[in-house]
């Protein structure tokens, strides 16, 4: 069966196996574009092909054309294990068994191994396997006008086989036998495919690890008790029982019970979070202590985990601008290499009198050493590992292009509340009037604010608990919206705690009165995040200018900026004003905007890179290109470091891929490289590029 999902907008999703690198993905991409399909997205990492079409009836032909390129469209839901004979590992082992004796004849004096018929018998199964594995793909790619690397391998190995076969039929002697060259080329390239497949699996492990969290069972509460069901079967509104040690199957709200939940797979923070009635829980997190009963709220594709996986898949498929050069070269690579191989043959044969044998071996060496796959793998493998490492640190990057956009950042613009500050208010300073003590004032504030449900009131009460107070007993307390609290104590004293009646140039924004006599002025503000100062210092150390852009009062913004060491401040900014500020800085250099992802949405969209300081419940905000699930400011530094090192890895990979081909092709053309050595070098060029990308997984990352 074939899986495709057609949504209202006619979006088709296919699961396609057999893609080894970005060149494979490019061949499918070009095919679909030639057919006039829109919104084409091909990811060899997730084995997904997506496109939009207005005509469903063309689907069977589109699928047939994709399979004609040598790939296979499968139904992921009913995916059968790969047949034994179709596994690339088994193909390699099969070929290696016949190739080994062919190579041994070069070092062992056993007469029968030098027999041309024996060599033909040993080489034939390997050549036929090569025809099946590389030939079909090569022919289909040529037919569709998108030649791939298999064309080079097939022409090279076939040339060596036919040359040797002619020598055998005409009994021209051992100088015309190159069966071992044909077999070795095929076997070594298959070995490269095996190593490449395993390496690519490691680069895509982040998405696969997250997908494993979806494959769990759940205890669904029913009338007769509890039934065990798959997480995929859970519907919104179902009541689920989650016990200690269990994984929360889907997003939901806690109905009863208390627990400690490890949310590290979402936020990157290893400290368990306490959950009780009315709290939200996220699918995939682990209950470390306690038992809870939850009601499912977000299931299937609406769950936080599904959105994260979808974002990562899209991000892995998004190409950074640096990849465009590699794609352009890879697109014309195969025809150019074939042309170089032909010129090598002609020049060597006619200009140097080297003879047919030497000319052909040089041409074959050119074809088998060339490796467009290394260029095709250079960028996506580094991007996949970089995005995976970021995700494990609670950082969701929405596209590989975002990583390059972060490079050479000149300015980082910060919103104030919820970004550099916690959003939790506390008393910054109390200024008592003459005749009143600090203990009296604290006692009145606590007594009055205890009667209010306002978040700021609760913050003030909590902040004063640790300090000595003179207790009072209130008879009444009423809240006047937009003004403050009025109260009367048992002794008949009237109190008012609220907004300052007269604007003052200082930072005091609350005033406390007793019987219309001012007792104190109070400065209340949200508290600065613990890591804010060190973040600003690190940015400045790396040559990035921090800028505060806030809708808050100018004086409060200046106080915060002075505390953190920020020199450029834009206060009392409305959303439209923030857009103008972002535009102004973008004209000066690359600009990142960091905000809470809600009221800063326009500015986040306008910046080169928008970063949302948010929690998992707001993961779907589309305005930002980066979402920090863990609102710890250390995540900002980690994001910048991972992006910088990922881009560095991409550049290293591209350098190796280009340098390898620039050096190897002329060396092969000049006859300094045996085709077998060329095949070996080609097979491992991919592995070196992928290995460098995998190194990013555990590499020590510094600013």
Helix H segments across 355-480? 355-369, 372-392, 400-406, 438-449, 455-464
Closest CA to 206 of 699, 700, 616, 696: 696
Which H or E run includes 679? helix 675-698
Residues 294 and 369 in one domain: no
Please report whether residue 33 resides in a domain: yes
617: containing domain: 394-416+530-641
DSSP 292-344: EEEEEEE-GGGSHHHHHHHHHHHHHHSPPTHHHHHHHHHHHHHHHHHHHHHHH
Sites in the chain below the pLDDT cut of 50: 1-8, 77-78, 268, 616-621
Among 256, 275, 298, the domain-final residue is 298
Residues 486 and 535 in one domain: no
Cα–Cα distances in angstroms (integers) from residue 653 to residues 208, 323, 372, 380, in the given order:
24, 11, 13, 10
Residues 314, 48: Cα–Cα separation, whole Å: 10
Tokens 């491992």 belong to which residue?
Answer: 684
Tokens 């290499």 belong to which residue?
Answer: 337
Residues 481 and 444 in one domain: yes
- Catalytic sites, residue numbers: 415
Phi, psi (rounded to 5 degrees) for 309? -60, -45
CATH number of the structural domain spanning residue 40: 3.30.70.100
Residues 272 and 404 in one domain: no
Q: Give the Cβ contact number of residue 25 at 10 Å.
A: 24
Number of domains in the chain: 5
Please report whether residue 453 resides in a domain: yes
Q: In a 10 Å sphere around its CB, with 0-12 CB exposed, 13-18 middle and 19+ buried, how is residue 671 labelled?
A: middle
Tokens 């913050």 belong to which residue?
Answer: 459
DSSP 478-523: EEETTTEEEEEETT--EEEEEE-SS--SSS--EEEEETTEEEEEEE
Please report whether residue 411 resides in a domain: yes
Does the pTM exceed 0.75? no
Q: Do residues 677 and 368 touch, judged by C-beta distance below 8 A? A: no
Residues 317 and 175 in one domain: yes
Please report whether residue 70 resides in a domain: no
Please report whether residue 211 resides in a domain: no
Closest CA to 319 of 654, 35, 684: 654
Tokens 């009072």 belong to which residue?
Answer: 472
Residues 631 and 498 in one domain: no
Residues 535 and 584 in one domain: yes
Residues 544 and 637 in one domain: yes
Please report whether residue 75 resides in a domain: no
Tokens at residue 680, please? 């070996």
Query: In sequence order, what are the residues at sequence separation of 6 or more whose Cβ sits closer than 8 angstroms to the Cβ of residue 696?
Result: 382, 385, 386, 389, 645, 646, 649
Residues 143 and 265 in one domain: no
Residues 200 and 289 in one domain: no
Please report whether residue 117 resides in a domain: yes
Tokens at residue 280, please? 């939200």
361-388 pLDDT per residue, tens: 788 778 767 766 666 667 777 877 887 8
Residues 569 and 663 in one domain: no
Tokens at residue 546, please? 């921090």
CATH number of the structural domain spanning residue 264: 2.70.150.10
For the chain, the residue count is: 703
User: Dihedral of the CA atoms 638, 641, 644, 647 (nearest 10)?
Assistant: -60
User: Integer distance in angstroms from the first to the last C-alpha of the chain?
Assistant: 50
Phi, psi (rounded to 5 degrees) for 503? -70, 130
Among 494, 528, 562, the domain-final residue is 528
Residues 607, 625: Cα–Cα separation, whole Å: 10
Query: In sequence order, what are the residues at sequence separation of 6 or more whose Cβ sits closer than 8 angstroms to the Cβ of residue 599?
Result: 415, 551, 575
Among 298, 321, 339, the domain-final residue is 298
Please report whether residue 679 resides in a domain: yes
Residues 557 and 584 in one domain: yes
Burial 443-458 (b: 16+ CB within 10 A, else e): bbbbbbbeebeeeebe
CATH number of the structural domain spanning residue 462: 3.40.1110.10
CATH number of the structural domain spanning residue 630: 3.40.50.1000
């Amino acid at each position: 069966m074939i899986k495709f999902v057609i949504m209202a907008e006619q979006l088709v999703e296919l699961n396609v196996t057999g893609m080894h690198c970005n060149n494979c993905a490019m061949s499918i991409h070009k095919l679909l574009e030639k057919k006039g399909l829109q919104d084409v997205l091909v990811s060899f990492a997730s084995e997904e092909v997506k496109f939009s079409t207005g005509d469903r009836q063309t689907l069977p032909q589109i699928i047939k054309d994709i399979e004609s390129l040598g790939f296979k469209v499968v139904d992921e839901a009913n995916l059968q294990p790969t047949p034994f004979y179709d596994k690339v590992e088994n193909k390699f082992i099969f070929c290696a068994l016949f190739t080994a004796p062919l190579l041994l004849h070069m070092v062992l004096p056993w007469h029968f191994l030098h027999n041309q018929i024996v060599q033909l018998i040993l080489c034939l199964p390997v050549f036929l396997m090569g025809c099946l594995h590389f030939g079909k793909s090569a022919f289909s790619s040529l037919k569709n006008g998108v030649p791939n690397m298999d064309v080079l391998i097939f022409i090279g190995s076939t040339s060596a086989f036919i040359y040797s076969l002619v020598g055998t039929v005409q009994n021209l002697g051992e100088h015309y036998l190159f069966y071992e060259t044909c077999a070795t080329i095929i076997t070594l390239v298959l070995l490269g495919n095996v190593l490449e497949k395993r390496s690519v699996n490691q680069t895509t492990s982040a998405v696969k690890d997250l997908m494993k969290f979806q494959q769990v069972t759940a205890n669904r509460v029913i009338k007769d008790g509890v039934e065990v069901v798959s997480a995929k079967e859970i519907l919104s509104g179902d009541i689920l029982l989650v016990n200690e040690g269990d994984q929360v199957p889907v997003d939901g709200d806690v109905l009863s019970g208390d627990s400690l939940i490890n949310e590290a797979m979402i936020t990157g923070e290893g400290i368990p979070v306490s959950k009780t009635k009315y709290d939200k829980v996220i699918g995939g997190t682990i209950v470390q202590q306690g038992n809870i009963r939850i009601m499912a709220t977000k299931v299937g594709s609406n769950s936080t985990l599904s959105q994260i996986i979808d974002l990562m898949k899209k991000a892995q498929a998004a190409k950074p601008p640096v990849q465009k050069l590699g794609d352009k070269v890879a697109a014309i690579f195969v025809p150019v290499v074939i042309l170089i191989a032909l010129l090598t043959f002609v020049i060597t044969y006619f200009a140097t009198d080297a003879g047919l044998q030497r000319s052909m071996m040089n041409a074959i060496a050119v074809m088998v050493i060339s490796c467009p796959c290394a260029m095709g793998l250079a960028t996506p493998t580094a991007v996949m590992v970089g995005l995976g490492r970021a995700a494990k640190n609670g950082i969701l990057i929405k596209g590989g292009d975002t990583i390059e956009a972060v490079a050479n950042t000149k300015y980082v613009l910060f919103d104030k509340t919820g970004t550099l500050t916690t959003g939790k208010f506390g008393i910054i300073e109390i200024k008592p009037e003459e005749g009143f003590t600090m203990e009296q004032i604290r006692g009145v504030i606590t007594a009055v604010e205890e009667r209010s449900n306002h978040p700021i009131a609760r913050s003030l009460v909590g902040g004063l608990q640790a300090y000595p107070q003179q207790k009072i007993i209130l008879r009444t307390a009423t809240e006047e919206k937009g003004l403050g609290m009025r109260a009367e104590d048992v002794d008949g004293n009237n109190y008012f705690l609220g907004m300052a009646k007269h604007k003052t140039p200082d930072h005091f924004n609350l005033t406390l009165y007793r019987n219309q006599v001012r007792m104190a002025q109070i400065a209340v503000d949200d508290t600065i995040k613990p890591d804010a100062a060190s973040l600003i210092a690190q940015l400045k150390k790396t040559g990035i200018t921090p800028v505060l852009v806030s809708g808050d009062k100018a004086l409060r913004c200046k106080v915060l900026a002075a505390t953190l060491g920020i020199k450029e401040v834009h206060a009392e900014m409305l959303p439209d004003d923030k857009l103008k500020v972002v535009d102004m800085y973008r004209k000066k250099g690359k600009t990142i905007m960091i905000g809470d992802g809600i009221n800063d949405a326009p500015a986040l969209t306008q910046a080169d890179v928008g970063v949302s300081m948010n929690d998992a419940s707001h993961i779907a905000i589309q305005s930002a290109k980066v979402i920090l699930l863990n609102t710890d400011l250390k995540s900002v530094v980690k994001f910048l470091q991972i992006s910088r090192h990922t881009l560095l890895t991409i550049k290293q990979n591209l350098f190796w891929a280009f340098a390898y081909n620039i050096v190897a092709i002329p060396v092969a053309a000049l006859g300094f490289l045996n085709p077998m050595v060329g095949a070996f070098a080609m097979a491992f060029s991919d592995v070196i590029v992928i290995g460098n990308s995998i190194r990013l997984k555990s590499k020590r990352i510094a600013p």
